Amino acid sequence: MSKQPYAYDEDEFDALGADRVPVGVHRRPVPWWRHALPFLVVLVLAPILAFGVVQIWSQEAGPNSDPTPTAGADDSGADGSGDTGGEEPSGEGTDETGESDADADASESPEEETTPEDDLDRDLGVWILNGSATVGLAGEAASQLEADDWTNIDTADYSNELPTESAVFYTTAEMAEEAEAIGEALGIGALYEDPEAASNGVVIVLRSDFEQ
C-alpha cells in the first residue's frame, strides 16, 4: 500500500508518533519455566504433604494403641523365671509324681513288637528240595522262609534216598548261623556242614517227617 502525501508540515506530534508501535499486536514470549512451574509444584509438594500426613497419623495411632499381649506373658513371674510365689500349678498335664500325661500314656501302652535285628545274611542262596510224596511241600516251606525275610529261595523236587529225614546242609562254618535260623524257622533240627551236599549256600531236603 503506497503512502499518500501529507499536506501539512511535520510537527512535534508527528515525530513522537513515528516511534510508536501498535499496542497488543506483538507480545513478549513467556519463559518456559512459567509453563513448567505448576507441574513442578505438584510433583514436589504432593509427596511431601503425603509423607507428612502419614507421619502425623502414625504418631497419633502408635502411643494410644494398646499393645497386644503375648501368650504366656502373665504366666511368668516378675523376674521372668516363671515362679508365681511358690504355688505349684495344678494343671492336668502332670500327676503327683511329676509325670506328664504323655509319659504316662507311653509307659502304659504296650511296646510295639519289632523284629529283632541280627547279622544274618538273608540274601544267602537257599534251595528247598521236596523229597516227600506231598506235592507243593517245598513251596509251602519257601513261603515260611519268605515271611521270615529270606529273599533268595529256589525250590525243586528231590529223588535221592539220603537223607531219610528232613535236614539242612550248609557249605562252610560261616553259614552256620544262617542254617540254624532256617532250621529253627522250619522246625528242622538236623544241621550238617557239607560242601558236597551244599556247594554254595544252604540246601534243605524235606521228607515225610516235615511238619507244615
Residue 118 CA to residue 182 CA, distance in Å, equals: 13
Comparing 72 with 51, which gets the higher pLDDT? 51
Which residues neighbour 104 within 8 Å (Cβ) at sequence distance 6 or greater?
95
Residue whose C-alpha is closest to residue 203's, from 184, 189, 182, 173: 182
Q: What's the rounded mean pLDDT across residues 15-19?
A: 62
CA atoms of 196 and 158, how far apart (whole Å): 16
CATH class of 126-206: alpha beta
Q: How many helices (H) and strands (E) does the chain have?
A: 5, 5
**Residue 195: CB atoms within 10 Å:** 11
Whole-angstrom CA distances from 26 to 30, 33, 35, 165 are 12, 21, 19, 135
Give the residue from 89, 117, 91 showing the smallest Cα distance to 102. Answer: 91
8 A C-beta contact, residue 128 and residue 138: yes
Higher-pLDDT residue of 185 and 211 is 185
- pLDDT of residue 165 exceeding 50, the answer is yes
Q: Which of 42-56, 116-130, 198-212 has the lowest mean pLDDT?
A: 42-56
| Strand boundaries in 58-136, DSSP class E | 126-130
pTM beyond 0.75, yes or no: no
Lowest mean pLDDT among 22-36, 52-66, 83-97: 83-97
